[in-house]
Amino acid sequence: MSSETISVDALKSGKIIHNPELCRGCKICELACSVYHDGVCSSHLSRIHVVPDDFALKFPAHICQQCHYPSCYYACPKKDKSMCIDSETGARYINEDECLRCGKCSRACPFTPSLIWEQNVDSKKRYYKCDLCRGRENGPICVEFCPRNALNFQSRGELK
């Protein structure tokens, strides 16, 4: 399938951009993310993962790219109820209450590893995906807390 044949009817989304050159691996982004979303501090139950190589001192991070063509959204059997698009930011986000926990979104993600990750929490499958902290007054909390300016939020309007 060539790119010309894809019909994109999804609203464009802003996204968070991680700069590994500025990142020093403190993982504050993960902690801010997890406490904001779930009232728990964790490097694992967050929607952004910094995965340092402690010996090479390199700091790549995994975070949803809010694709222009959101495969996850199209793969969801309950599109617009479970996998939704925020009308304000354009964020592709999971509505936990409606989620079937089928994992199709995670498998549809074009990135490797998938940027929608499955975690078992209290013996229940949950899917974690960046929602750009939709509805939060100051924008994404990870961007606000990053001490190195390694995270930037590019809003929908700023996208080329």
Partner 1 sequence: MNQMYGWVGKILRVDIGTGEVKTEETSKYVPEYIGGKGIATRIAWNELKPNTGPYDPENMLMFMTGPFTGTLVPTSGRGSVCGVSPRIYPTPWFTYGTMGGDWAAELKYAGFDAVIVKGNSSKLVYLWIHDGEVDLLDAKEITGLDTFVTQHHLKEKHGNRTQVVCVGPAGENRVLWSTIQHRLSNSIGDAGLGAVMGAKKLKAIAIRGTGGVKIAKPDEFIQICREMKEMIKGGPTNYPYPTNDLPYRNPIGPGNQQCSHGCPLGCGKLYKNVPAGITVGSGTRNMMSHCEDLAFIFGESATHYPTKEIKDNYDGDMYTRETKAFGDRIGTELQVLCEGLGLTSAFPINYYPWFWVCIENGVTEIEGIKLEPEDPHFWFQFMKKVACREGAFGEIFAEDLMRAVDQLDLPPIVKKAAKFQFPMWGQPAHRQGRAYESQPSPIWINTMLHWIIDSRDAMASHHQSSFVVGWFPPHNEGKGGTPDSNMEKIKAAYKKAFGTTGGMEHGFDNLDDKTRLAIWQDNRAQIKDSLLICDWVFPAILHTFSSRKEYLEAEDYYGDIDAEAKLLAPLTGLDIDTAYIDKAGDRIRNLDRAIHIRNYDRSREIDSTGEWVYEYPEKSDGTKLDMKLFNTILDSYYKHRGWDKTTGRPTRAKLEQLGLKEVAEELVRLDKLSKM
Contacting residues toward partner 1, per CB under 8 A: 21, 24-28, 31-32, 34-36, 38-45, 51-57, 59, 119-120, 141, 145, 147-148
Q: Which is nearer to partner 1, 17 or 28 (CB)?
A: 28
Q: State the Cα–Cα distance between residues 68 and 156, nearest whole angstrom.
A: 11
Q: State the Cα–Cα distance between residues 160 and 144, nearest whole angstrom.
A: 23
Q: Which is nearer to partner 1, 24 or 101 (CB)?
A: 24
C-beta separation of 65 from 115 below 8 A: yes
| Least Å from the CB of residue 18 to partner 1 | 15
Q: Which is nearer to partner 1, 76 or 151 (CB)?
A: 151
| Least Å from the CB of residue 119 to partner 1 | 6
| Least Å from the CB of residue 44 to partner 1 | 4
Q: State the Cα–Cα distance between residues 54 and 57, nearest whole angstrom.
A: 5
CB proximity list for 107: less than 8 A, separation 6 or greater: 75, 114
